[in-house]
Amino acid sequence: MISKQQKPTQSGFHAKTNADEITKGIDLSGKLAIVTGGYSGIGLETTRALVHAGAQVIIPAKRIEIASKNLDGIVSEENIVEMDLGNLNSVKKFTDDFKESFSNLDLLINNAGIMACPETRIGNKWESQFAVNHIGHFLLTKELMNTMAENDGARFVSLSSSAHSLTGILWDDIHFHNNPYDKWMAYGQSKTASSLIAIEFHRRMIDKGVSGYSVHPGGIITPLQRHLENAEMVALGWMDEDGSPSEMAKNFFKTTSQGASTSLWCATSPSLENIGGVFCEDCDVAKRKNEIDESLQRYFGVADWAIDTDEASKLWDITEKMLIS
């Protein structure tokens, strides 16, 4: 089933809205946020904007030294805490320590991720993109749900991608045990999962006054592309042969500030007070793909398989079983 709320709200913002425009006039004093990947790319811009609006932000970081350097003058050292999404013991330690120190949580933004990387196995022979982008974040989110339930109006934001349009969940072979590994299909599946976790989270938490949103931030050149050769980015149309941005990139790609804006809109906008369990892009609730021009469907709009409540519930249950297998 697809939510009837999955339709644009006419927010007044757009694809090139900057982060500071979203948080202008928003007072987050006394609010506590966690931002995974909050020290690089659009995550860093998200952190910067939340802090500027008055929030206290906790940054779980695999690379503590880099995080400390990038966040110098923005987030205090004690709020940069070690956590590796690819190591569930590390995730559990982070959440246990957090709950010992804090009794509630206002904002959880699952921003971190890896993209199109070579085949790697972690955990219980899990495909690494699904494991990091979904399973690690799933455990983090599940462990913090009760803490968020203490705050009426708390929000959860999960970053998806236009790559979700490549595939729904590959139910028969999620971890590519039986079929040849395809880095883009694996990434696309993980980003569908990133959307579905927000849909099911919202269903489970809305009675407690807590909302969930999935976000396509847009095309942005960040360290996320570190596994891609220039030739591949040329083939994708993102870059010209000389290494400069292509015309498509100039027209459609965003700055990191613009890329952070939809996450911030979902996390802070008063206009979403009675809306949730939806996929958002360009600082508004997205259209479904069957509602937009076919030529734009690869990069815009949301596929039904990424917002279907039955798919979301099924994935949640299967992921819980993965955690105990």
The domain that holds 24 is classified in CATH as 3.40.50.720
162 is catalytic: no
Provide long-range contacts, Cβ within 8 A and 24+ apart, for 122-125.
Answer: 122/86, 122/87, 123/86, 123/88, 124/322, 124/325, 125/175, 125/177
Residues 159, 240: one domain?
Answer: no
Predicted local confidence at residue 82, as pLDDT: 98
Q: How high is the mean pLDDT of the chain?
A: 92
Cα gap 113→267, rounded to integer Å: 19
The catalytic position among 165, 187, 213, 263 is 187
Predicted local confidence at residue 121, as pLDDT: 97
Domain tally for the chain? 2
Mean pLDDT calculated for residue range 272-289: 97
Q: How many residues does the chain have?
A: 325
Residues 57, 192: one domain?
Answer: yes
Is residue 162 situated within a structural domain?
Answer: yes
Residues 24, 165: one domain?
Answer: yes
Q: Are residues 147 and 104 in contact, defined by beta-carbon separation less than 8 angstroms?
A: yes
The catalytic position among 62, 142, 191, 254 is 191
User: What letter represents residue 68's amino acid?
Assistant: S
Q: Distances from the Cα of 79 to the Cαs of 5, 19, 43, 67, in angstroms?
A: 36, 22, 15, 11
Residues 111, 197: one domain?
Answer: yes
Give residue 246's domain range: 225-253
160 is catalytic: yes
The catalytic position among 40, 160, 162, 269 is 160
Residues 229, 164: one domain?
Answer: no
Residues 115, 148: one domain?
Answer: yes
Predicted local confidence at residue 253, as pLDDT: 82
Residues 320, 299: one domain?
Answer: yes
Residues 213, 232: one domain?
Answer: no
24 is catalytic: no
Cα gap 262→61, rounded to integer Å: 22
Is residue 56 situated within a structural domain?
Answer: yes
Predicted local confidence at residue 225, as pLDDT: 47
- The model's pLDDT over 35-94, given as tens digits with 9 standing for 90+, comes to 999 999 999 999 999 999 999 999 999 999 999 999 999 999 999 999 999 999 999 999
Handedness of CA 137, 271, 150, 20 (dihedral sign): positive
Residues 91, 152: one domain?
Answer: yes
- The model's pLDDT over 18-28, given as tens digits with 9 standing for 90+, comes to 999 999 999 99
Is residue 199 situated within a structural domain?
Answer: yes
Residues 237, 180: one domain?
Answer: no
pLDDT exceeds cutoff 90 at 201: yes
Mean pLDDT calculated for residue range 84-109: 98
